[in-house]
């Protein structure tokens, strides 16, 4: 398990990574090559998530002392926070191999049965995006998780026969970005559930320092602070921005990543001081400049920026809401006071939606503070 973590990254590991997704928390296929080399391979090396790490360490140590596989583990949280890294660490800590698959890849129960039957005693099966697993495969997983047995159905119709198949004791590690989509029976079969949280800037600086050492980048303290502050609390984004800033430093500067170099590089890549990229700013600009701060439906907002509604709703809005720049209300999307200030626009005479970053009012009812505002949306979706 340790081989991919110990490789030198000062050479060609970045080949083909010229195009990446900016500040998107999702990883492309080529980026996963770099991620696998940057991943920690023990809990002592894992940075951040102190509560989950401590709880998981107790679960694994107790299982090793009993000589039995640990309970099944569910890791939930937004993309890019280290769920896959923790799954691989579990296998490394237990000294067993990890078989990796994803929910969408398991389309039939037979696919899952074949995978389970090939597991050795104590192996770890990691299913990413487990909430997207097909329903027949999920039902097969129930018995496998509890009794380490699966029933393989042979034949069709009245002559079909269920043949019980014993499988080796194993540990299932499931990762999901949408825990609410998991069915109750599946969720209840996990003995440990870890909720991953966004990272603090100080934790991201530790991640960046470690990655800089592995990548052979000279990173100053103020340079790491500048990158960490624009990384949306996500290590995957921090590592991605570090690689882009390194490119700029090597081509346009002396190779050292200082605060000034980081600021110039991130400005070139359209990542502002809050971590907003071009699309994020386009959504806010449309909401503030074209629609007077809202409320406006998401479909109308998507047309205004030339994107699909799903892109605006699933890619842009989560961070804008978390940063206190946008509010979802029954009447539509509304720009907060913080959004007006961030974009440099003067507040309208009647005021804006109050409740931006750090200033949310507990008595907010979901309507802007503009006097005389009606209860109907100004712009329909």
Catalytic residue status for 128:
yes
Q: What is the mean pLDDT of the chain?
A: 79
Catalytic residue among 39, 83, 244, 333: 83
SS3 (DSSP) at 26: coil
What is the pTM for the complete model shown? 0.75
Q: Using one digit for the tens of pLDDT, what is the confidence trace for 36-95?
A: 677 888 888 898 899 999 999 999 999 889 888 899 999 998 888 889 989 999 988 888
Mean per-residue pLDDT, 339-351: 78
Catalytic residue among 128, 230, 300, 333: 128
Catalytic residue status for 311:
no
Catalytic residue status for 6:
no
Whether the link from the prior residue into 232 is cis, omega within 30° of 0, is no
Q: What is the token pair recorded at 151?
A: 């029933």
Calpha distance 112→109 (Å, rounded): 5
Domains and CATH numbers, the chain: 49-195 (3.40.50.300), 201-268 (1.10.8.60), 281-381 (1.10.10.10)
Catalytic residue status for 380:
no
Mean per-residue pLDDT, 132-160: 80
Q: What is the pLDDT of residue 319?
A: 85
- Residue 150 CB partners (closer than 8 Å, separation 6+): 112, 113, 116, 117, 140, 143, 144, 164, 165, 167
Catalytic residue among 177, 234, 258, 300: 177
DSSP 249-274: HHHHSSSEE-HHHHHHHHHHTT--TT
DSSP 292-347: TT--B-HHHHHHHHTS-HHHIIIIIHHHHHHTTSEEEETTEEEEBHHHHHHHTPPP
Which residues pair with residue 164 across a beta bridge?
A: 151
Catalytic residue status for 370:
no
Q: What is the pLDDT of residue 359?
A: 38
């Amino acid at each position: 398990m340790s081989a991919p973590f110990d490789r030198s990254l000062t050479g060609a590991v970045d080949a083909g990574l010229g195009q990446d997704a900016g500040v998107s928390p999702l990883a492309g296929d080529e980026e996963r090559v770099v991620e696998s080399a940057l991943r920690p391979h023990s809990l002592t090396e894992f940075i951040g998530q102190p509560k989950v790490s401590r709880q998981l360490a107790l679960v694994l140590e107790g299982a090793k002392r009993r000589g039995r596989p640990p309970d099944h583990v569910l890791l939930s949280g937004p993309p890019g926070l280290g769920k896959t890294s923790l799954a691989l660490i579990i296998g490394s800590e237990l000294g067993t191999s990890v078989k990796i698959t994803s929910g969408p890849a398991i389309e039939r129960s037979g696919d899952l049965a074949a995978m389970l039957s090939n597991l050795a005693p104590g192996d770890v099966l990691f299913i990413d995006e487990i909430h997207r697993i097909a329903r027949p495969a999920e039902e097969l997983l129930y018995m496998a998780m509890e009794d380490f047995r699966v029933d393989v159905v042979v034949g069709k119709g009245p002559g079909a026969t269920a043949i019980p198949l014993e499988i080796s004791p194993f540990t299932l590690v499931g990762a999901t970005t949408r825990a609410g989509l998991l069915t109750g029976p599946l969720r209840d079969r996990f003995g440990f559930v870890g909720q991953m949280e966004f990272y603090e800037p100080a934790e991201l600086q530790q991640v960046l320092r470690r990655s800089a050492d592995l990548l052979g980048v000279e990173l100053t303290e103020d340079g790491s602070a500048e990158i960490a502050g624009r990384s949306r609390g996500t290590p995957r984004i921090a590592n991605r921005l570090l690689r882009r800033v390194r490119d700029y430093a090597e081509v346009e500067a002396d190779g050292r990543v200082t605060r000034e170099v980081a600021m110039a590089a991130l400005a070139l890549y359209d990542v502002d001081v809050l971590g907003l990229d071009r699309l994020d700013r386009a959504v806010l600009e449309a909401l503030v400049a074209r629609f007077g701060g809202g409320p406006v439906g998401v479909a109308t907002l998507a047309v205004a920026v030339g994107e699909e509604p799903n892109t605006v709703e699933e890619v842009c809005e989560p961070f804008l809401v978390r940063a206190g720049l946008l509010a979802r209300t029954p009447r539509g999307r509304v720009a907060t006071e913080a959004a007006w200030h961030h974009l440099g626009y003067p507040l309208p005479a009647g005021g804006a939606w109050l409740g931006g970053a750090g200033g949310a009012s507990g008595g907010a009812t979901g309507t802007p503070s503009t006097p005389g505002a009606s209860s109907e949306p100004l712009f329909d979706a």
